[in-house]
Amino acid sequence: MKKKVALAFSGGLDTSFCVKYLSREKNMEVHSVFINTGGFSTTEEEEIRQHALKLGVARHENIDVSADYYKKCIRYMVYGNMMRNRHYPMSVSSERTFQAMAVAEYARREGIGILAHGSTGAGNDQVRFEMIFQVLVPDMEVLAPIRELSLSREKEVDYLKKAGFQGSFEKHAYSINQGLWGTSVGGKETLTSSEGLPEEAFPSQLKEKDPLRISVEFNRGELTGGIESIREIYDKATAFAIGRGIHVGETIIGIKGRVGFEAAAPVIIIRAHQELEKHTLGKWQAYWKDQLSEWYGMMLHEGQYLDPVMRNIEKFLEETQQFVTGKVFITLRPYAFDVTGVESEHDLMKASGAIYGETHDDWSGEDVKGFTKIFGNSSRIYHSIHPFSY
């Protein structure tokens, strides 16, 4: 009997190659598993299933983990205003964890002892997948054909053509990873340090030009409407071509990585949440939350979601959101957006009774003089011995 292998399948070029390679060269029975993290419709899922069957898989399974992904990950990324290098909303890095967990669970449930993924040897995803596999199913063998063969995309296309697959390869000019929390875009330009992605490389195109005012609402830090609100904001904002960028950062394996992305909903939601927190959190709450959020985001990016410290940080983040409730008003414009204000019953700015730079009722000028004298004591004492020089 042929050995069974569960392949984490996206329908893209790399995993399409893996199906043919594992079945033809390794003589394996390939079970492809597509994990939907919320970025695909049922119609698109069916197209992926048909694509897998056309490639010759023995069986294909579509598994939707979007509810789990939102509840156990996206919520915390919003609570922490998490943007990798303050720029990229960690779309793919967070998704891979939940895809890997779902594939491992599928293989265990179906009695399959071998796992496979289509990651290259020069990226983060190989580590993310295998970190999860190592923890959850350490007894299973893991195959990574693209990494093991060190294949270029051109060689993968040639192999598929020689194997008799008559698909269209033009769409594979760019590597697209689509999910609820954004889409990554990789291509020849992102392999350089100087070139930007062309307009047509992004999944969505500019359709609207007249400004549109929307509101984003939160209840105890959580986006009101959850997944559906993410999709609604995505639909409105991508029409303005908002949320595009190119992220450059440190990879898990120690080299610099560069990837394009389109994440209209995340950049708006996180920016709106951050603005609401400015009005509702205390000074030191905000400071320490930023420190732990940075750590949580780094661990998530590097595939360490299952480390127990992550559950500890999540509890802290939840606690900080007790009064982060209200509306944030946003104006959408072509390629950009502005936060115009917030509305919250927990607004500390309104509660102070003072207007910054204008009026105050709770202290006098003499109070400020005394406060300033004490506040500057440590610096005054230091410079009395070590005079400051320009």
Residue 353 has pLDDT above 80, yes or no: no
Closest CA to 182 of 102, 247, 277, 130: 247
3-state SS assignment for residue 376:
coil
Bridge-based pairing state of the strands 59-64 and 336-343: unpaired
- pLDDT of the residue at 356: 64
Q: Does a structural domain hold residue 99?
A: yes
Q: Does a structural domain hold residue 290?
A: yes
CA 269, distance to chain mean position in Å, is 13
Same domain? 114 vs 206: no
Residue 334, domain extent: 178-343
- pLDDT of the residue at 123: 87
pLDDT band of residue 141 (cuts 50, 70, 90) is very high
3-state SS assignment for residue 260:
strand
* Beta-bridge mates of residue 81: none
Paired tokens of 26:
């390794």
* Beta-bridge mates of residue 329: 215, 341
Residue 175 has pLDDT above 90, yes or no: no
Same domain? 195 vs 153: no
Same domain? 317 vs 207: yes
H or E element that contains 382 = helix 377-385
Helices (H), 302-364: 309-320, 348-351
CB 7 within 8 A of CB 30: yes
Paired tokens of 197:
């992605």
Q: Which contacts qualify for 304-307: CB closer than 8 Å, 24 or more apart?
A: 304/131, 305/73, 305/97, 305/132, 306/131, 306/132, 306/135, 306/136
> How many domains would you assign to the chain?
3
- pLDDT of the residue at 170: 59
Q: Does a structural domain hold residue 83?
A: yes
Q: Does a structural domain hold residue 120?
A: yes
CB 326 within 8 A of CB 344: yes
Same domain? 163 vs 40: yes
Question: Residue by residue, what is the 3-state secondary structure of 119-183?
Answer: CCCCCCHHHHHHHHHHHHCCCCEEECHHHHHCCCHHHHHHHHHHCCCCCCCHHHHCEEEEECCEE
pLDDT digits (tens, 9 = 90+) for 214-228: 999 999 999 999 999
Same domain? 335 vs 207: yes
Same domain? 234 vs 211: yes
Same domain? 274 vs 373: no
Please count the helices (runs of H) and the strands (runs of E) in the chain. 15, 13
Please give the backbone phi and psi of residue 347, each rounded to the nearest 5 degrees, phi first: -70, 110
- Share the mean pLDDT of the chain: 94
Same domain? 297 vs 233: yes
| Mean pLDDT to the nearest integer, 360-374 | 87
Q: Does a structural domain hold residue 390?
A: no
Same domain? 30 vs 161: yes
Same domain? 194 vs 130: no
Paired tokens of 191:
């392999």
Phi-psi region of 254 (alpha: psi -120 to 50; beta: other; left: phi over 0): left
Residue 168 has pLDDT above 80, yes or no: no
* Beta-bridge mates of residue 143: 116
Residue 390 has pLDDT above 90, yes or no: no
CATH number of the domain encompassing residue 256: 3.90.1260.10
The residue type found at 207 is K
Positive or negative: CA dihedral 263, 269, 275, 277 = negative
Q: Does a structural domain hold residue 49?
A: yes
Residue 228 Cα distances to 66, 70, 196, 223, 233, angstroms: 11, 11, 32, 10, 9
Q: Which of 143, 175, 207 is the last residue of a domain?
A: 175
- pLDDT of the residue at 172: 58
Q: Which of 122, 149, 175 is the last residue of a domain?
A: 175
Q: Does a structural domain hold residue 262?
A: yes
CATH number of the domain encompassing residue 141: 3.40.50.620
Residues across the chain: 390
Place of tokens 């979601």: 305
Residue 129 CB-density burial (10 A; 0-12 exposed, 13-18 middle, 19+ buried): buried
The residue type found at 361 is D
pLDDT digits (tens, 9 = 90+) for 110-120: 999 999 999 98
Q: For 220, how many CA atoms within 13 A lie in the half-sphere containing its CB? A: 4
Same domain? 163 vs 263: no
Same domain? 41 vs 165: yes
Q: Which of 126, 144, 175 is the last residue of a domain?
A: 175
pLDDT band of residue 354 (cuts 50, 70, 90) is low
Q: Does a structural domain hold residue 116?
A: yes
Residue 7 has pLDDT above 80, yes or no: yes
